[in-house]
Amino acid sequence: MTAASPPVIDLPPAVDPADHARLRRTYEPIRGFYAWLASVDHKSIAKRYIATCLVFFALGGLEAAVIRAQLSRPENGLVGPDTYNQVFTMHGTTMMFLFAVPIMQAMGLYLVPLMVGAKETAFPRLNALGYWVFLIGGVFIYTGFFLNAGADAGWFAYVPLSGPEYSSGKRVDIWAQMITFTEIAALIAALQTIATVLKLRAPGMSLNRMPLFLWAQLVTAFMVIFAMPSVATGSLFLSFDRLVGSQFYNPAEGGDALLWQHLFWFFGHPEVYIIFIPALGFISQIVTTFTRRPVVGYPVMVLALLVTAFMSFGLWVHHMFATTVPQLGSTFFTAASTLIAVPTGVQIFCWIATLWLGRPVWRTPLLFVMGFIAVFTIGGLTGVMVASVPFDLQAHDSYFVVAHLHYVLLGGAVFPLFAAFYYWFPKITGRLMNERLGRWNFWLLFVGVNVTFFPMHRLGLEGMTRRVYTYLESTGWGTLNLVSSVGAVIIVAGMAVFVVNLARSWRGGAVAGANPWDADTLEWATSSPPPPYNFADPIVVTSRSGLWAYGDEIPVLQGLRTDLPQVLVTTVMDAEPVLRHIHPSPTIAPFVMAVIIGAMLIGGIFTPWAYPAGLVAIGVPWLMWAWPRRRSYEHQEELKGTFSLEAPI
Amino acid sequence: MKPAKQVGVIHSLPENVFGAAALTWWAVVSLMLIEGTTLALCAGAYVYVRQNYYEWPPAHTPLPDLGIPSINLALMLLTIVPAWWVFRSARAHDRGGVLVGASLQAIMGVAIMVLRYFELQAVNVRWDTNAYGSVVWGVLVGHAVVMVTDVMDTIGLALMFAIEEPEEKHFVDSCENTQFWYFVVASWLPLFFLVYLYPRLG
């Protein structure tokens, strides 16, 4: 993934300009294919992550196109019921596990180290491991799909349908194991983000000066840590029921089908917010930049993120209102599901106030933000409707819910994500995306989404259920389904414009320079694209306004090594420098370990002995990873002096 | 780009520290949160399935034995001594001390894993007999997986300290490995109660 290189201008500030050459040698010690395989550069890993997620997004989109083509008229025979089951399961699975969650984390893996002003992420080798595991998991489930072994029990794989009695063969096993792959990757990314945000922030970037994007990423990372183990545990239980005859979900032997639903939705509902909260971070940064003023109500915005995250763990049962959960419990979850609209509403009002008080510059990223506000608000309002038990019992498993969830996810994640692409593309490639094509992209997507999904509200109220591969003409649903399918064509057109824009801008877009939007956060204080070492000297943050607060010079600290990859570690609360941490060098060990983990998990579908064998085999790359390697220090001139600052941060 | 202005120097900051200032500490704490959540969910599944039975263990299923599990628990508690020794020696940069402590901890860890295998026999129920068997095995195996990762890590560290002159960061890693072992032992206490004592409460 290499752009036609724009001229490198605006290198990050350095007291000694000769440091740039030294740092480049240190951070790019090897080149070629091996270097690519062994890379631990967070930018390189994140770009692969984003590209891989976009490929899965395209595949999930193609599956959606098949669904809409099949449903465009009554009794259509484009695909049969079995293929349809696989297609809608793969669509949901792909969009949730292989696109939405990982791309939000991947954006963080690229941006968080830059935005905190660090040279690298906290655990670069672990970062590489996470990507390779994710890639193998995604390729694995798609290999199954192309071999007619695609998952077919819905993206939430309810038992008993997904259990051994009703789903023979390996389809569900592949699905359940893919969950394990993606959970490992997600947890690794979360761990990175927590340590990077809490410990690698630029000196002076105390918690109350942290950009809202970093808050969003930090909150999301903690959510991942508490939510993902639930689906991982649940899917392992499912695997055991299917492979070794355990009885976790078998009611005949004291097991419980609802145990699966609890484990799945204890993850599944926070997952919506795991996708949505990073998007809120994108929006806050974009609104700040394009209104030329800080977001109104910073403390309220941070509190709203925290409250949303906390409350999102208290909503999962609203997915289970149609089961036998006690009425008192349902009442509590109705209240919680309604209440969570409050912190989100608070944030929307803060953005509107910011736009009102600022001087909005209507570039493409801000257009997508407006699209988010409109589309997501509709999804949020129908969310409040289905939070009510009586209404939910009527709408459950109908197209009303399909409409609701797509308004929420497209509005709450895809629109902000496109805003983010347009906003940070110059940083990643050094070139700006085309504005005219960007506007076409936006309007086609905005119109397409509404034309596709709005009629589904009506279809659901008329009784059309989810996951049916066709319907009779006498139902009268043909016209609205056709309208919905036409909308899908408009969405595809919008996506095509995006791809054209991406390709054209990648090679020939206008050269961006370091800070084309005159933004305030630290990633804009280095060249576009950033050099392998991100920053030469640690930048000192003096205000919540970041770059906007500096005069003619950028304050920096001096004293990190240039002959070894070294990052400055700071304190959690006030970001005071405490440690010069030496980072690991590139190695192929994460790749080897990922391959062994892949073999172990794939083998585990066929024999449980794959697990002990795999655990032993992992010892080899672990030793490659951790074994001491004497590194040369000869380039380093002797640096002396005591830690001091000319003025308090 | 605006030019840089040096406002301070950080030459004298250390390159390795112990405790919460170190990055490794945060990795280990995050891992504890992840593994702790997973084990709590296994315990939650155990309690959830309990609702489906009038008797616990279910009728015609014997109570789990206490002999081997109690011996294993005692051994696990005993490992705190070599683990503490590793922690102390690592802080003092004492290679020999770390090597002795880690070797002892690794040997005891392997013994605990072997005893865990016999514990699986001692619960007197197979994983596929009924849901009770499944959740009991789920708790035991779930905790064993967490344990085996730390035992492997300890073996690796012992090997490294035996063969190579350790770098300073490996002393920090040894301390963090010890912290994780404390978590492994501490997390077993409520799970031991759940699997072996709770069914005896009637």
Buried b (16+ CB within 10 A) or exposed e, A142-168: bebbeeebbbbbbbbbebbebbbeebe
Task: Answer yes or no: do A537 and B6 touch at CB < 8 A.
Answer: yes
Predicted pLDDT of residue A324: 84
Q: What are the distances in angstroms from CA A368 to CA A378, A414, B11, B160?
A: 15, 9, 45, 53
Predicted pLDDT of residue A636: 41
Q: Cα separation of B143 and B14, whole Å?
A: 37
Task: Answer yes or no: do B52 and A254 touch at CB < 8 A.
Answer: yes
Q: Are A520 and A213 in contact (CB under 8 A)?
A: no
Predicted pLDDT of residue A9: 63
Q: Are A339 and A311 in contact (CB under 8 A)?
A: yes
List the structure tokens of A589: 């060990």
Q: Cα separation of A161 and A321, whole Å?
A: 19
Partners of A270 on chain B (C-beta within 8 Å) are none
Q: Is the peptide bond before A160 cis (omega within 30 degrees of 0)?
A: yes
SS3 (DSSP) at A553: coil
Q: Cα separation of A595 and A84, whole Å?
A: 32
Predicted pLDDT of residue B140: 97
Searching chain A, which residue's CA lies closest to the CA of residue B173? A626
Task: Answer yes or no: do A12 and B156 touch at CB < 8 A.
Answer: no
Buried b (16+ CB within 10 A) or exposed e, A326-358: eeeebeebbebbbebbebbebbbebbeebbeeb
**H/E element holding A291?**
helix A257-291
For helices B80-91 and B95-122, angle between their N-to-C axes, nearest 10 degrees: 160
**H/E element holding A141?**
helix A124-146
| Residue A555 contacts B where some CB pair is shorter than 8 Å | yes
SS3 (DSSP) at A521: coil
- Reported as half-sphere exposure (CB side, CA atoms, 13 A), residue A320 has a value of 27
List the structure tokens of B145: 């997986």
How far the first Cα of chain A sits from its last, in Å, is 39
Q: Cα separation of A344 and A273, whole Å?
A: 11
Which conformational region is residue A84 in: left (phi greater than 0), alpha (psi within -120 to 50 degrees), or beta? Answer: alpha
| Residue A623 contacts B where some CB pair is shorter than 8 Å | yes
- Reported as half-sphere exposure (CB side, CA atoms, 13 A), residue B106 has a value of 17
pLDDT in tens, A261-278: 999 999 999 999 999 999
Predicted pLDDT of residue A645: 53
**H/E element holding B109?**
helix B95-122
| Residue A381 contacts B where some CB pair is shorter than 8 Å | no
CA nearest to A570, candidates A204, A309, A29: A204
Residue length, chain B? Answer: 202
Sheet of strand B4-9, all strands in order from the earlier edge strand to the far edge = A554-558, B4-9, A644-645
As to burial, measured by CB atoms within 10 angstroms (0-12 exposed, 13-18 middle, 19+ buried), residue A18 is: exposed
B23 → closest Cβ in A550, A569, A626: A569
Q: Are A304 and A349 in contact (CB under 8 A)?
A: no
| Residue B59 contacts A where some CB pair is shorter than 8 Å | no
> Distance (Å) from the C-alpha of residue B68 to the closest C-alpha of chain A?
23
CA nearest to A424, candidates A495, A554, A530, A555: A530
Q: Cα separation of A206 and A213, whole Å?
A: 14
How far from the centroid of its chain's Cα atoms is residue B188's Cα?
8
B3 → closest Cβ in A553, A568, A615: A553
Q: Cα separation of B103 and B161, whole Å?
A: 10
Q: Cα separation of A342 and A355, whole Å?
A: 20
- Reported as half-sphere exposure (CB side, CA atoms, 13 A), residue A522 has a value of 37
How far the first Cα of chain B sits from its last, in Å, is 73
CA nearest to A469, candidates A153, A70, A72: A70
Task: Answer yes or no: do A580 and B38 touch at CB < 8 A.
Answer: no
Predicted pLDDT of residue A6: 61
Q: Cα separation of A289 and A521, whole Å?
A: 9
List the structure tokens of B95: 């290679």
Q: What are the distances in angstroms from CA B1 to CA A201, A229, A521?
A: 21, 45, 14
Give the list of residues 6+ apart from residue B29 with CB closer than 8 angstroms, or none: none
| Mode of pairing for the β-strands spanning A577-582 and A566-570 | antiparallel
Q: Are A241 and A254 in contact (CB under 8 A)?
A: no
Phi, psi of A295 (to 5 degrees): -65, 135
pLDDT in tens, B46-97: 999 999 999 999 999 999 999 999 999 999 999 999 999 999 999 999 999 9
User: Which residue out of B24, B28, B34 would a mutagenesis test of the A interface target, given it has the greatest number of A Cβ atoms within 10 Å?
Assistant: B34
Residue identified by tokens 């089908």 is A257
Task: Answer yes or no: do B8 and A540 touch at CB < 8 A.
Answer: yes
Partners of B150 on chain A (C-beta within 8 Å) are none
- The pTM of the full predicted model, rounded to 2 decimals, is 0.94
Predicted pLDDT of residue A625: 87
Task: Answer yes or no: do B23 and A199 touch at CB < 8 A.
Answer: yes
Task: Answer yes or no: do A250 and B165 touch at CB < 8 A.
Answer: no
Q: Are B109 and B151 in contact (CB under 8 A)?
A: yes
Q: Cα separation of A63 and A84, whole Å?
A: 9
Beta bridge partners of A577: A570
Task: Answer yes or no: do B4 and A15 touch at CB < 8 A.
Answer: yes
Q: Are A494 and A445 in contact (CB under 8 A)?
A: yes
Q: Cα separation of A54 and A472, whole Å?
A: 36
Residue identified by tokens 């670069």 is A124
Q: Are A254 and A247 in contact (CB under 8 A)?
A: yes
Predicted pLDDT of residue A156: 92
| Mode of pairing for the β-strands spanning A554-558 and B4-9 | parallel
> Distance (Å) from the C-alpha of residue B185 to the closest C-alpha of chain A?
20
Instruction: For chain A, positions 448-507, list CB contacts with chain B under 8 A.
Output: none
Predicted pLDDT of residue A498: 97
| Residue A579 contacts B where some CB pair is shorter than 8 Å | yes
Instruction: For chain B, positions 138-197, list CB contacts with chain A under 8 A.
Output: 138, 142, 148, 152-153, 156, 159-160, 164-167, 169-170, 173
Predicted pLDDT of residue A634: 41
| Residue A237 contacts B where some CB pair is shorter than 8 Å | yes
Predicted pLDDT of residue A585: 87
As to burial, measured by CB atoms within 10 angstroms (0-12 exposed, 13-18 middle, 19+ buried), residue A642 is: exposed
SS3 (DSSP) at A131: helix
User: Could you say which DSSP state residue A412 is in?
Assistant: I
| Residue B60 contacts A where some CB pair is shorter than 8 Å | no
For chain B, residues with pLDDT lower than 50 are none
Residue identified by tokens 């992840």 is B34
Partners of B32 on chain A (C-beta within 8 Å) are none
Q: Is the peptide bond before B14 cis (omega within 30 degrees of 0)?
A: no
For chain A, residues with pLDDT lower than 50 are 1-3, 632-643, 646, 648
